[in-house]
Amino acid sequence: MKLAILSREPKLYSTTRLVEAAVARGYEAVVLDHLHCNLVLEKGHPGILYKGQKLEGIDAIIPRIGASVTFYGCAVVRQFEMMKVRTAVESQAIVRSRDKLRSMQILARAGVGMPKTAFTNYSDEVPAMIEQVGGAPVIIKLLEGTQGLGVVLAESAKAAQSVIEAFHNLKARIIVQEFIAESKGADLRAFVVNGEVVGAMKRQGKEGEFRSNLHRGGSGTLVKLSRAEKAAALLAAKSLGLGIAGVDMLQSKRGPLVLEVNSSPGLEGIEKATGLDIAGRIIEYTADIAQRKKVKAGSKTRQKESMPDSQADAPL
């Protein structure tokens, strides 16, 4: 079986761990830079050229699409889907998760707990927005921000007004979110694979920092999730259609509150915090969906061969 990891950084921890886990299980693994994949669109014959060569023989892909190249990366994943190659994370699910506003609308409709959130296009509505999320202090987030970048804590309504107006003047889209004081600069990351939480860690922001992202200097430690926290993580991943997801949650007085669902969660922090082979779980899941495709295709072939000629050739 041949698995392809779509990644721009072959030496990145997550990429190398996926390759190692695949080889350890007897699979062939290749790393493809999705920005070097050229898409060939033709009726009935979709294809991909990679560095001048036609890609063939790939059974399944594991997308590791960065936020800055979501559009093209998802187009490549979609092309593989058109070529009947199975993917660990579907293109449409990646698109949903990358649009913060859309993903929160989907999560809210599914009944997932989350901090109160407001969105507007007009600075004149800012005071009402702040009141809707419980008043200052509030969190202000860029819709396109990642890894804690573009996230601001406004301690007062006046500060929030100034920050929001500044973002609006720059034509940046933002959301205003309730500040959960009891979380104390910490959150939970639940790693979901195929409808199961396979690992979890608590991320704590460094002193004086309200963001807990490991990229911002936070630290990760092993944690055991409560039943409610597991249920929230699984519902969030399922509602966005993600077979693999990193679900970030806050612990609050009213239960777990989902902040974000990541469709390409990093492996380094979670594996080091838990000591678990998360990469191996991803490879096993990906190989399983590829194998199911082969079994299904073989079943259809045998079924057609067993039909009388008149039935096998009949139009559908």
Q: What is the mean pLDDT of the chain?
A: 88
Looking at per-residue pLDDT, the higher value among 152 and 315 belongs to: 152
pTM of the model: 0.86
Domain that holds residue 86: 2-96+277-293
Q: Does 239 lie in the same domain as 226?
A: yes
**Last residue of a domain, which of 262, 285, 311?**
262
**Last residue of a domain, which of 155, 179, 203?**
179
pLDDT in tens, 208-255: 555 555 555 566 799 999 999 999 999 999 999 999 999 999 999 999
Q: How far apart are CA 238 and CA 197, in angstroms?
A: 12
In a domain, 104, yes or no: no
Q: Does 230 lie in the same domain as 189?
A: yes
Looking at per-residue pLDDT, the higher value among 217 and 28 belongs to: 28
Here the CATH number for the domain that contains residue 28 is 3.40.50.20
Q: Does 209 lie in the same domain as 168?
A: no
Going by pLDDT thresholds of 50, 70 and 90, the confidence category of residue 106 is very high
Q: Does 7 lie in the same domain as 83?
A: yes
Distances (CA, A) of 184 to 73, 131, 180, 250: 36, 22, 8, 10
In a domain, 101, yes or no: no
In a domain, 85, yes or no: yes
pLDDT over 90, % of the chain: 65
Average pLDDT score over residue span 285-302: 73
Looking at residue 315, what is its pLDDT? Answer: 46
Looking at residue 10, what is its pLDDT? Answer: 95
Instruction: Count how many domains the chain has.
Output: 3
Q: What does the DSSP assignment read for 268-308?
A: HHHHHHH---HHHHHHHHHHHHHHHHHHHHHHHHHHHHHS-
Here the CATH number for the domain that contains residue 126 is 3.30.1490.20
Sequence letter at residue 239: S
In a domain, 308, yes or no: no
Q: How far apart are CA 233 and CA 243, in angstroms?
A: 12
Average pLDDT score over residue span 64-90: 96
In a domain, 108, yes or no: no
The tally of CA atoms less than 13 A away on the side-chain side of residue 298 is 6
Going by pLDDT thresholds of 50, 70 and 90, the confidence category of residue 193 is very high
In a domain, 305, yes or no: no
In a domain, 192, yes or no: yes
Average pLDDT score over residue span 139-147: 76
pLDDT over 90 (residue 47): yes
Q: Does 258 lie in the same domain as 190?
A: yes
In a domain, 270, yes or no: no
